[in-house]
Amino acid sequence: MDLRTAIQLGVIGLTFFMLINASALLVLAERKIMGFMQQRFGPYLVGPHGLLQPLADILKLLMKEELRPKGADKWLFTLAPILSITAAFAAFSTVPWGAETTFFGLLDQPVKLGVADVNVGVLVVFAITSMGVYGIVLAGWSSNSKYSLFGGLRASAQMISYELSYATALAAVILLAGSMSLREVVDAQAGTWLGVLPRWYVFLQPVGFIIYMIAGVAETNRAPFDFPEAEQELVAGYNTEYSSVRFALFPQAEYINMATMSAVATDLYLGGWHGPFLPAEYGWIWFLAKVGFILFAYIWVRWTVPRYRYDQLMTFGWKWLFPASVLNLLVTAALVLYFNA
Amino acid sequence: MPETLLFYLLAGLAISASALVIGQRNPMYSVLLLIASFGALAGLYIQLDAPFVAVAQIIIYAGAIMVLFLFVVMLLNAPQEDAAPWDRTHQLRQPGVLRFGTLLAALLIVQLVWALGRAFGVDAPVASRAGGNVSSVRELGRVLFTDHMFAFEATSVLILVAMLGAVVLARREDEQ
């Protein structure tokens, strides 16, 4: 194995490692930010300022007994959390997170920061995230419990409804960039307008960005759209009957999905690793900063906005969000055609 | 050689999963096996150097249509879709239903034989016959909206009709 292959494998391993850590850090960040918003400290006892709380949580969950209801479907009950976490990790496989780099002249040929570069990368991310719903639906069905079943039903209906708007918002960006490779979409956003404003697609696609973010919150089942596990109505929704590690995989998949959603939003709308002040070699710092900002917004929204009603969710998705995204796509297509002709 | 091995692996998975779909009593397992079959088909498309078709297959069939199937199966929550062996008056045991099913099965076999018979005459890869690169989305779009315009439009009208029919059927209860 030559140096280049080793470094490429190292980059892939690093991506995986970052995703695992992202889920742990997001749990802590969520609780800390929630505490701040509710005027308390949040977790504070484990480690300095409660920084080791995620480790304690993981240890606690590992020690718990694994329970399976008597009437549950043995195979699907085990398969569901595995499907969830696999889809969550796999979805990140075509998301690039840094410019091509030679590691300060260490290599002759530059290495791309990211797992894989596919020419239909945007669609691959979308395809795999759309498979993630099966984990939740199967968990709901196989538990043989009414609360879980309702959680699973809600998840499937919600995902279908918001996937359409999500995909249509993506299509508008693909039209602008003229490519379905995420790396090429990011590189199309390099540079500035008039020397000041960065050429990010968020300025060309403000409506698309808002639609993407709303649909993204619904796709990852976060509040105010967390109907599959609405605590006040469904106990814990699809994961009511789960315990121990099997349970832990569901929230972990959710947090990794959040990270993926934010990373894709950064690549599509916020110029990825392009930004002022830093040389291209350090572009990944910009990338992490932007992803962190979007993730903060995710948590911010969760602890600010109350949950919708289920019929409001459906009405909003089909009667407002979807028409808006189709209109956005049509206008974008017309303008691209006009300015390119 | 690994490519041939992968082909037989994916093809075997697709065929066995499809066969098992019919063999299941529980509709939930049928749906899941169908998803596995679609996944294997997507793998075959990638082998044919058509990643866009593969991804579209996953997004549309596995990601959207099968979620709807699953939704309906869960909503009905029927443990068994077949008529019970003792139930001689079940709807599915009516002679008319059985004859219609046999007719459809015979039609499907004729179609399969015809399609496979045509496939034997093909010696060149699809990409070179189409005169372009199948893996290019641009080329795919151009062909779809020029050469195959009629088929494309006819299909969309068909889907529209089906959609209108569904809305009419769903609406009927309201008016009573």
- pLDDT band per the 50, 70, 90 thresholds, residue A305: confident
- pLDDT band per the 50, 70, 90 thresholds, residue B30: confident
Would you call B70 and A127 a contact, using CB atoms and an 8 Å cutoff?
no
Evaluate whether A95 touches A181 at the Cβ level (below 8 Å).
no
Would you call A130 and B59 a contact, using CB atoms and an 8 Å cutoff?
yes
Mean pLDDT for A284-306 is 87
The answer to whether residue A160 scores a pLDDT higher than 90 is no
Distance of residue B147 Cα from the nearest chain A Cα, in angstroms: 22
Evaluate whether B56 touches A123 at the Cβ level (below 8 Å).
yes
Q: Which residue has the higher pLDDT, B36 or B49?
A: B36
Distance of residue B5 Cα from the nearest chain A Cα, in angstroms: 23
List, for residues A111-148, the tens digit of each pLDDT value: 777 777 777 888 888 888 888 888 888 888 888 788 88
The answer to whether residue A218 scores a pLDDT higher than 80 is yes
Give the pLDDT of residue A330: 92
CA–CA separation, A132 and A151 (whole Å):
15
Interface test with B, best of A122, A124, A136, A156 (most B CBs within 10 A): A156
Q: Where are the alpha helices (DSSP H) in chain A?
A: 3-37, 53-63, 74-91, 121-131, 133-142, 146-177, 182-187, 201-204, 206-219, 231-234, 244-269, 283-302, 310-315, 322-340
Give the pLDDT of residue B134: 55
The answer to whether residue B12 scores a pLDDT higher than 80 is yes
Give the pLDDT of residue B79: 58
- pLDDT band per the 50, 70, 90 thresholds, residue B103: very high
- pLDDT band per the 50, 70, 90 thresholds, residue B82: low
As a whole number, the mean pLDDT across chain A is 84
Alpha-carbon A5 to chain mean position: 28
Which amino acid appears at position B58 of this protein?
I
Q: Give residue ranges of A with CB < 8 Å to any B CB.
A: 73, 76, 118-120, 123-124, 126-128, 130-131, 133-134, 137-138, 140-141, 149, 152-153, 156-157, 159-160, 163, 167, 180
Name the most confidently modeled range: A150-154, A223-227, B91-95. A150-154
Helices A244-269 and A121-131 meet at what angle, rounded to 10? 150
Distance of residue B149 Cα from the nearest chain A Cα, in angstroms: 20
Which amino acid appears at position A198 of this protein?
P
The answer to whether residue B105 scores a pLDDT higher than 90 is yes
List, for residues B138-175, the tens digit of each pLDDT value: 777 888 888 888 999 999 999 999 989 888 887 766 55
Percentage of chain A lying above the pLDDT 70 cut: 99
The answer to whether residue A195 scores a pLDDT higher than 80 is no
Count of A-B CB contacts under 8 Å:
67
The answer to whether residue B23 scores a pLDDT higher than 90 is no
How crowded is residue A105: how many other Cβ atoms within 10 Å of its Cβ? 6
Give the pLDDT of residue B46: 84
Evaluate whether A152 touches A133 at the Cβ level (below 8 Å).
no
Q: Which residue has the higher pLDDT, B13 or A230?
A: B13
In this structure, what token pair is assigned to residue B86? 């003792």
Q: Which residue of A has its CA nearest to B62?
A: A131
How crowded is residue A146: how many other Cβ atoms within 10 Å of its Cβ? 11
Interface test with B, best of A77, A120, A153, A238 (most B CBs within 10 A): A120
CA–CA separation, B75 and A232 (whole Å):
22
Give the pLDDT of residue B123: 62
Evaluate whether A101 touches A111 at the Cβ level (below 8 Å).
yes
List, for residues A57-88, the tens digit of each pLDDT value: 888 888 888 888 887 778 888 888 898 899 88
| CB-nearest partner of A118 from B51, B62, B67 | B51
| CB-nearest partner of B52 from A120, A140, A159 | A120
Give the pLDDT of residue A281: 73
Would you call B77 and A149 a contact, using CB atoms and an 8 Å cutoff?
yes
- pLDDT band per the 50, 70, 90 thresholds, residue B78: low
- pLDDT band per the 50, 70, 90 thresholds, residue B110: very high
The answer to whether residue A53 scores a pLDDT higher than 70 is yes
